[in-house]
Amino acid sequence: MFVDGVKIYVKGGDGGDGMVAFRREKFVANGGPAGGDGGKGGSVVFEVEEGLRTLVDFRYKRHFKGNPGENGMSKGMHGHGAPDYVVPVPPGTIVKDADTGELLADLITHGQRAVVAKGGRAGRGNRRFATPANPAPEISENGEPGQERNLELELKVLADVGLVGFPSVGKSTLLSVVTAARPKIADYHFTTLTPNLGMVDTPDHRSFAMADLPGLIEGASLGVGLGHQFLKHIERTRVIVHVIDMAGTEGRDPYDDFLKINEELSQYNYRLLERPQIVVANKMDMPGAEENLVTFKEQIEDKYPVFAVSALTKTGLSNMLLEIANKLETTEYFPLNEEPTEDQIVMYKHEAEKPEFEISRGSDAVWVLSGSEIERLFAMTNFDREVSVTRFTRQLRSLGVDQALRDRGAKDGDTVRIIEFEFEFMD
C-alpha cells in the first residue's frame, strides 16, 4: 500500500502567567488582591481534511507550535486563552510518538480530530490565593508549559474502492488499465502479495483511489491462502468491486465464485456485505463468456449491478467507472467494528505513567532532581517572589522529595538542584 512518512515536532502553547497585583483605591492603604489568571495555551490539533491526499505539506513545514495564553493582568483581568492550532491532515493519517513508537491516533473520516500536543494550563493570579488567614497573598503561578513531542506521521492511503475476487480473475490487470499503477500481472495464483493502489480519473473527471487486493479463496477468513491479513484491507474501502472470471478459464462456475467470495467476506465480518458491491464480469473476450453471463445474470437477479468488461482488450470500462464514482458519491465510510464516536476525537494513548521525580547525583556531587511533574511545578513557579519559592518547596515536600532525598543519604546543608535552581537541603 502506498505509504508516505514524515517526522515533525509539535508543541502546545504555554499557559499565560498569573499576576500579583493589588487594588489601589483612594484612601485605602492596601486594597485586596487583584491579579488576574493567565489564559490557557493553544493545543496543536490534527483534523482530517477529506480533500487532502498526501503528507507533502509536512515536508516544508515541520514545526507546529500553539500560541501561548495571555498573561493575567491587574484589576482582576484574566489573560485570553489562545485558540487551538488546527492542522489539516489527509484521511488515513496514522500518528505515532516518534520517540516511543506509540500509536497516538489513526485518523480516517472527515472532521475527525486528535489533540497531538496539549496547550498548558493557565497560571493563577494572586486573587485566587486569598484566604481568610492571608487576605493579601503575594503569590501567583506561572502558566504550565505546553506539551511537546516529536511525531511520526504515516499515510496509509485508504482506497475508496477495493477489487476482490479469486486469484487470477484479472484484478491487477483491471487496476493497470484504469490507473497509472503498474502491479505485477501473471497467470499463476497469488501474483499480488500486497495491495497496489492507483488513482482513477473517470471520463467525466471525477477521481478516486482504487486498490487491487490479493486473491481470496475458500477459507480465506479462516486464514487459508493469503487469508485474513488481506481481508483487513477491504475493511477500509467504501465500495467493493467484485471481479469475476466470466469465461470460467480455470473450470470454476462464475456464480459459484461469486457466492464463495461473499461468504468469505461475511465470515470475516458480516458488515462487509453492507458495503455497496459492484460486480465486474471480466474476460468477456474469451469464448463461453457471453453464455455464462446470461446464466449469471439470471442467477444474481438484479441484486447487484453487473458490468461486462475485458481488462485485456479494454472494453466496457467507462460505464463501470462511472457507476463506481456514482456509488462513491452516495456512500460514507463507516468503520465495521466500532460506532463512530460522537465528538469524533481519537486519542489512543493515555499518557504512560511517569514517575513524578527522579533523584540523581551530578558530577559536582550535587543532588539533581528531575522528572516531568517536578519540572512542571518548577516552570509554574515565579521565583522572583519569596512566597512562591516557599510554596514550591512545600509542593516538593508533599511529593515526597524530602523523604526520598533523606533515604538516598542527603545531609543537612547538601545542595539540591532542579534545572538551574539550587537550594540547600535542610533536614
Known binding positions for Mg(2+): 172, 192
User: Which range in 210-218, 254-262, 299-307, 317-325 contacts ligand GTP by CB under 6 A?
Assistant: 210-218
Residue spans of beta strands (DSSP E) within 258-410 = 277-282, 306-308, 358-361, 367-370
C-alpha span between 396 and 378 (Å, rounded): 10
310 binds, among ligand GTP, Mg ion, none (CB under 5 to 8 A by kind): ligand GTP
* Nearest partner of 193 among 212, 166, 170, judged by Cα: 212
Stretch that binds ligand GTP, among 12-20, 170-178, 331-339, 397-405 (CB under 6 A): 170-178
Compare residues 1 and 286 and give the one whose CB is closer to ligand GTP: 286
d(CA 140, CA 20): 6
Using the rule CB under 6 A, is 170 a contact of ligand GTP?
yes
Torsion sign across C-alpha atoms 306, 311, 315, 319: positive
**Which strand (E) or helix (H) includes residue 189?**
none
Q: Please, what is the minimum distance in Å from the beta carbon of residue 325 to ligand GTP?
A: 21
185 binds ligand GTP (CB under 6 A): yes
What is the number of residues in the chain?
427
Region near ligand GTP per CB under 6 A, out of 14-22, 115-123, 133-141, 309-317: 309-317
314 class by beta-carbon count within 10 Å (0-12 exposed, 13-18 middle, 19+ buried): middle
Residue 212 as a binder of ligand GTP (CB under 6 A): the answer is: yes
Q: Which is nearer to ligand GTP, 190 or 270 (CB)?
A: 190
- From the list 47-55, 96-104, 182-190, 293-301, the region that binds ligand GTP by CB under 6 A is 182-190
User: Site residues (CB under 5 A) for Mg ion?
Assistant: 171-172, 191-192
CA-CA-CA-CA torsion for 325, 327, 331, 336, nearest 10 degrees? -100
Q: 169 contacts which partner out of ligand GTP, Mg ion, none, CB within 5 to 8 A by kind? A: ligand GTP
Q: Nearest CA to 151 among 112, 108, 114? A: 114
Name the residue nearer to ligand GTP (CB basis): 82 or 284: 284
Annotated binding site: 165-172, 190-194, 212-215, 282-285, 310-312
Q: What character string, x for contact with ligand GTP (CB under 6 A) and - otherwise, covers 225-264?
A: ----------------------------------------
For 264, the enclosing helix (H) or strand (E) is helix 254-268
Verify binding: residue 190, ligand GTP, rule CB under 6 A. yes
- The conformation of residue 243, written as its DSSP 8-state character, comes to E
Q: In Å, how far from its chain's centre is CA 160?
A: 19
Phi and psi, residue 198, nearest 5°? -145, 160
Strand partners, 241: 163, 278
Nearest to 292 by CA among 303, 301, 281: 281
Site for ligand GTP in 276-295 (CB under 6 A): 282-283, 285-286
| 218 near ligand GTP (CB under 6 A) | no
Q: How far is CA 307 from CA 148, 226, 310, 328, in A?
A: 53, 27, 10, 16
> Residues forming the annotated binding site for GTP?
165-172, 190-194, 212-215, 282-285, 310-312
- Among 169, 272, 321, 396, indicate the residue that binds ligand GTP (CB under 6 A): 169
Residues forming contacts to ligand GTP in the complex (CB under 6 A) are 167-173, 185-187, 189-192, 212, 214-215, 282-283, 285-286, 310-312
